[in-house]
Amino acid sequence: MKNLWGGRFASGVDPLAWQYNASIAIDWRLAEVDIQGSIAWAKALAQCDVLQQSEMDSIIEGLYAVLAEVQSDNFQLQPTDEDVHTAIERRLTEIIGPLGGKLHTGRSRNDQVASDFNLWLQLAIAQVDEFLRILQTALVDRAEKDMGIILSGYTHLQQSQPILLSHWWLSYFWPLVRDRQRLQELKQRASVLPLGSGAMAGTPYPIDRDFLAAELGFSLVSPNSIDAVSNRDAAAEFLFFSALLAVHLSKLSEGLILYSTSEFGFIQLADAYTTGSSLMPQKKNPDTLELTRGKSGTIIGRLTGLLSTLKGLPSTYDKDLQEDKQPVFETYDNLCMMLPVMTGVLESLQVNAQRMQANMNPSILATDLADYLVAKGVPFREAHALVGQAVRLAEEQNLDLSQLPLKAYQTISPMFKEEVYQVFCFETAVEKKNSVGGTSSEAVSLQINKAKQFIDSQ
């Protein structure tokens, strides 16, 4: 087969080996950024007189013609197109003639692909960040809309203490803040330009790399050509960011799946985000949430896969690195569905406040009961033990703590007085947690403001 590097080969590549080697099916989506990189490269070559001005003009004009074909889906891929870079150079040369062959002067696909990938990552990061902002807004909207609704919080999936539902919604907001911060940090790493590193030793032409970086919107140029052609940190970090984000979304999904069961009945998912069963007519399954939970596992796998690939490499470029794009592209595609779908689920679900209220057992106020004794001067450890006795007594008599008679309380401690029953109010228990970051209405209102401030500051 004819290809761009065949000069030293006596025989062609085995067809299966050719297919095995080719990456066009995966890296074609780099076409636009590849052309963008080539336009900047042509300008840099002209700046240092490797290309004459007129040659540069023809090359750039040709590249725009190729770009137009790419954007209108009219680019005809050929069986000899090994990857996106060779395909575009092949087409450029068809359009402008042998002059196209001058474009690759001083450049290697090694610095080219690393630059393309970083350029692409910067675009992907901006898109994912926007989806995240919208999802965060949906969570804050829910928190505002559901203000005042109380439910039990759970630890170990056992009822623990009453909380505001808004507080629970916001507990999924802050992990996304950290995710977005991570995304901004990794954006800086993707903003270092490898172009000008050549195959691995640098380029012999006096290319102005700072000019290239400015042309392509990068903030820095890579400081070491050997590192530059093998550096895939930004890709690995993108996968780590995605894996952790997916874990956060999985946790939210699991919470919603649980709360939408008939056993809990706290929320009802909209028909639009559920599916039925082919056999059981009554079923309304939370498939979208299950898929998010499931895909989070797949994304973790892709991170592990890329790290394992990188781990095996010696210095500079090795073909193993071609394995870098598929996991990143697939993960990006997943996120571009996961995030808007999750937003839709949140916006459309119904909350059943009555079920949440009815489900709460007064025993979740046992800590408040201990605090009642603490207010009377009883050391907390002792108060904990005394309330523990009350819990046991109530359980033996098949009562809840609010039903246990005063006499019974007083057999445990004379510190329990008539007003003890005032403790058994979920609202009071919630409002008492007025520490910063706590669940009282005031603290949660402040939290909502902070959340909105974060969104506006991004």
Minimum CB distance to ligand ARG, residue 91 (Å):
16
Query: Which of 198/286 has CB closer to ligand ARG?
Result: 198
Binding part of the chain for ligand ARG, among 106-114, 333-341, 343-351, 399-407 by CB under 6 A, reads 106-114
Write out the two tokens for 201: 């030793």
Query: Which of 84/165 has CB closer to ligand ARG?
Result: 84
Task: State yes or no: residue 322 binds ligand ARG (CB under 6 A).
Answer: yes
Query: Which of 70/229 has CB closer to ligand ARG?
Result: 229
- Cα–Cα distance, 184 to 186 (Å, whole number): 5
Task: State yes or no: residue 309 binds ligand ARG (CB under 6 A).
Answer: no
CB 290 within 8 A of CB 312: no
Burial class (CB in 10 A: 0-12, 13-18, 19+), 242: buried
202 sits in the region (left: phi over 0; alpha: psi -120 to 50; else beta) called: left
Query: Which of 195/289 has CB closer to ligand ARG?
Result: 195
Minimum CB distance to ligand ARG, residue 240 (Å):
21
Torsion over CA: 270, 271, 277, 279 (sign) = positive
Write out the two tokens for 197: 């590193």
Minimum CB distance to ligand ARG, residue 173 (Å):
38
Query: Which of 227/371 has CB closer to ligand ARG?
Result: 227
**Which of 4, 45, 46, 113 forms a contact with ligand ARG (CB under 6 A)?**
113
Q: What are phi and psi of 131, to 5 degrees?
A: -60, -35
Using CB under 6 A, which residues numbered 81 to 100 contact ligand ARG? Answer: 83
- Cα–Cα distance, 334 to 246 (Å, whole number): 10
Task: State yes or no: residue 23 binds ligand ARG (CB under 6 A).
Answer: yes
**Which of 90, 91, 102, 109 forms a contact with ligand ARG (CB under 6 A)?**
109
CB 339 within 8 A of CB 401: no
CB 122 within 8 A of CB 188: no
Please identify every residue annotated as catalytic: 156, 277
**Which of 58, 110, 203, 230 forms a contact with ligand ARG (CB under 6 A)?**
110
Instruction: Using alpha carbons only, give the angle 384, 387, 392 rounded to the nearest 5 degrees.
Output: 125
Q: Which residues bind ligand ARG (CB under 6 A)?
A: 23, 27, 83, 109-110, 113, 317, 319, 321-322
